[in-house]
């Protein structure tokens, strides 16, 4: 998600390849242009992806961005291997687009944003010796230039930390706590007014990462992704993925 000036674990079982049509071209959905860097302006961007049908016990993915459906394997317990190739990232560079890269594969599920929702997953990113910015990622997504991602990622010093990026035309980049465990729980939750992002090592005690006003449209998307901006490719692992229509009760504590 990143670049020179930004900083911000394997599964067993029999896996079956999820089947959907691979996306070839973006959807043509667009809205009336507006001035840059306003909420309306972000809706002028394309809504990428093609229909897919990947059902897990806690979530139903119906859109695949950048061929994500062809890169994932799931098992009966709802665990997912998510393979990503070289130089795959999702980032809108605020400095003349020199480092922009919207090639990372993403699986998305439709969300009724007029109701509360919570997306949560146990994430083991494919971290490698040369895997700068490798990450397992959760998303809330409107279109290619209006989204937020919540990552368990490797930084410039080889440390593994929680990172969040919010994009409104261009992306910011925020590095959070260093995590020494190979696996972390990530969560994004909204009560229709507020969006909160959290991480936990035990799925009980949650740490706040990011909080902002929910000014997204009535329908949006939530999902998972793997990224590998620098290295030659890797595989991240997801477990216990769920999308529910409720929210955390305490946006500071994440419970």
Tens of pLDDT, residues 66-86 = 999 999 999 999 999 999 999
- Determine which of 6-20, 119-133, 188-202 has the lowest per-residue pLDDT on average: 6-20
- Split at pLDDT 50, 70, 90, the class of 210 is very high
Q: Report the number of distinct structural domains present in the chain.
A: 1
Question: Does 33 or 148 have the greater pLDDT score?
Answer: 148
Inter-CA distances, 243 with 73, 101, 114, Å: 19, 27, 15
- Determine which of 42-46, 90-94, 236-240 has the lowest per-residue pLDDT on average: 42-46
- Split at pLDDT 50, 70, 90, the class of 45 is low
Which range of residues forms the domain containing residue 64? Answer: 55-244
Q: Would 15 be classed as within a structural domain?
A: no
Q: Would 5 be classed as within a structural domain?
A: no
pLDDT at 138 over 80: yes
pLDDT given at position 88: 97
pLDDT at 18 over 60: no
Q: Would 60 be classed as within a structural domain?
A: yes
In three-state form (DSSP H/G/I as H, E/B as E, the rest C), the secondary structure along 120-136 is: EEEEECCCCCCCCCCEE
Q: 42 phi and psi, to 5 degrees?
A: -65, -25
Q: Would 27 be classed as within a structural domain?
A: no
**Distance between the two ends of the chain, CA-based, in angstroms?**
28
Inter-CA distances, 68 with 65, 109, 133, 176, 222, Å: 6, 13, 19, 27, 14
Q: Would 135 be classed as within a structural domain?
A: yes
Q: Which residue do the tokens 């919540």 mark?
A: 150
- Split at pLDDT 50, 70, 90, the class of 46 is confident
Q: Would 176 be classed as within a structural domain?
A: yes
pLDDT at 188 over 50: yes
pLDDT given at position 98: 86
Query: Whole-angstrom Cα distance, residue 60 to residue 44?
Result: 27
Q: Would 225 be classed as within a structural domain?
A: yes
pLDDT at 132 over 50: yes
pLDDT at 48 over 90: no
Q: What is the arithmetic mean of pLDDT over 189-218? A: 98
- Split at pLDDT 50, 70, 90, the class of 159 is very high
CATH number at residue 129: 2.60.120.200
Q: 68 phi and psi, to 5 degrees?
A: -60, -35
Mean pLDDT across the chain, nearest whole number?
Answer: 87
Are residues 138 and 241 in contact, defined by beta-carbon separation less than 8 angstroms?
Answer: no
**Chain centroid, CA 138 distance in Å:** 3
- Split at pLDDT 50, 70, 90, the class of 97 is confident
Q: Would 163 be classed as within a structural domain?
A: yes
Q: 163 phi and psi, to 5 degrees?
A: -135, 145
pLDDT at 33 over 60: no
pLDDT at 52 over 50: yes
pLDDT given at position 5: 40
Q: What is the arithmetic mean of pLDDT over 17-34? A: 38
Q: What is the arithmetic mean of pLDDT over 138-158? A: 97
């Amino acid at each position: 998600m990143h670049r020179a000036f930004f900083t911000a674990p394997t599964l067993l079982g029999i896996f079956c390849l999820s089947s959907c049509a691979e996306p070839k071209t973006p959807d043509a959905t667009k809205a009336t242009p507006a001035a840059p860097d306003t909420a309306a302006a972000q809706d002028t961007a394309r809504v990428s992806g093609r229909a897919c049908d990947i059902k897990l016990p806690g979530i139903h993915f119906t859109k695949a961005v950048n061929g994500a459906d062809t890169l994932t394997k799931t098992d009966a317990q709802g665990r997912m291997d998510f393979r990503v190739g070289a130089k795959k990232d999702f980032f809108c560079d605020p400095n003349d687009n020199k480092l922009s890269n919207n090639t990372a594969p993403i699986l998305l599920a439709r969300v009724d944003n007029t109701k509360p929702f919570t997306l949560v997953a146990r994430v083991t990113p494919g971290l490698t010796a040369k895997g700068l910015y490798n990450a397992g990622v959760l998303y809330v997504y409107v279109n290619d230039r209006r989204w937020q991602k919540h990552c368990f990622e490797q930084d410039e010093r080889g440390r593994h930390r929680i990172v969040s990026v919010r994009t409104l035309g261009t992306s910011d980049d925020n590095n959070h706590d260093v995590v020494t465990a190979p696996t972390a729980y990530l969560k994004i939750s909204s009560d229709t007014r507020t969006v909160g992002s959290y991480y936990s090592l035990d799925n009980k005690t949650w740490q706040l990462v990011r909080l902002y006003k929910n000014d997204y449209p009535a329908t949006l998307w939530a999902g998972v992704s793997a990224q590998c901006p620098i290295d030659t490719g890797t595989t991240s692992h997801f477990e216990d993925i769920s999308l529910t229509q409720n929210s955390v009760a305490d946006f500071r504590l994440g419970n």
